[in-house]
Structure 1
Amino acid sequence: MTYLDPAAVVQAQLEAYNAKDVDALMATYATNAQQFTLHGPLLAEGIDAIRPRYVARFAEPDLHARLLSRTVLGNFVTDLEVVTRNFPEGKGRVEMLCIYEVVEGRIARASFATGATTLFAA
């Protein structure tokens, strides 16, 4: 079996996120994938727990992630992104550091660090 390059897997995940295509996004994750806050607690384990997190996020009309930089080290991919979101306080953006571990062509573990939120002027 030929596995996708880790950067290609993460790129497919980013494209599915921006297309708000939950099925395509879930196809990039391993069945037993885990998501964490960076150096912190488990956020979700398994695609059945991960899927609803994205379904809720995809309800935001202005949701979009813009890649600022990507670093690949073996099967680890680190993305720095700026994500436009619809926060309860209004539309804004937040910087995200996303670290993915890709195993056999799927994201096995992902850790996220969130920067400061900047709200857009009304």
Structure 2
Amino acid sequence: MNAPAKPSFADIAQAQIEAYNAQDLDAYCAFFTDDVTVADLNGAVSTKGLAAYRAKYAQVFADFPNNRAELLARMVVGATVIDHERVDRGTGAATFEVAAVYTFAGDRIARVDFVK
């Protein structure tokens, strides 16, 4: 009997976007390491640790209940996934685009660097 295939980094990145769009905080946070770091690319760290990350996205989901991210492009290089995303807060305001650079440790995301 063959073991189930291990999900690829692209599969995990896709699943976390789907959990984000479903605003399923528990499922979304399960994709990140306990010491996850979020920063602007080449800039300051904005969030450190899963508890702070969870609190941040609990607030985002509360403030923007119709928030959605649309994947425009994806590149995978080693243990890094780079997504080009369009975000719609669902408020009628203009959408905006980001590049999210997800760095993996094992099968979870350890760092996210945003280009805004």
SS at match of 1:30: strand
Structure 1 residues without counterparts, runs of 5 or longer: 115-122
| Higher strand residue share | 1
Q: What is aligned with 2:83?
A: 79
Shift of 1:92: 2.3
SS at match of 2:95: strand
Corresponding letter in the other structure for 1:110:
V
Which of the numbers 81, 93, 97 marks the counterpart of 1:91? Answer: 93
Q: What is aligned with 1:56?
A: 59
Question: Contact 1:3/1:104 (CA < 8 Å) preserved in 2?
Answer: no
Q: What is aligned with 1:119?
A: none
Percent identity between the aligned chains? 37
TM-score by length of 1: 0.85
Question: Cα RMSD over matched residues?
Answer: 1.6
Q: What is aligned with 1:100?
A: 102
Structure 2 residues without counterparts, runs of 5 or longer: none
- When the two structures are aligned, how many residues end up with a matched partner? 111
TM-score by length of 2: 0.89
Deviating above 4 A after TM superposition, structure 1's stretches of 4 or more consecutive aligned residues are none
Q: What is aligned with 1:27?
A: 30
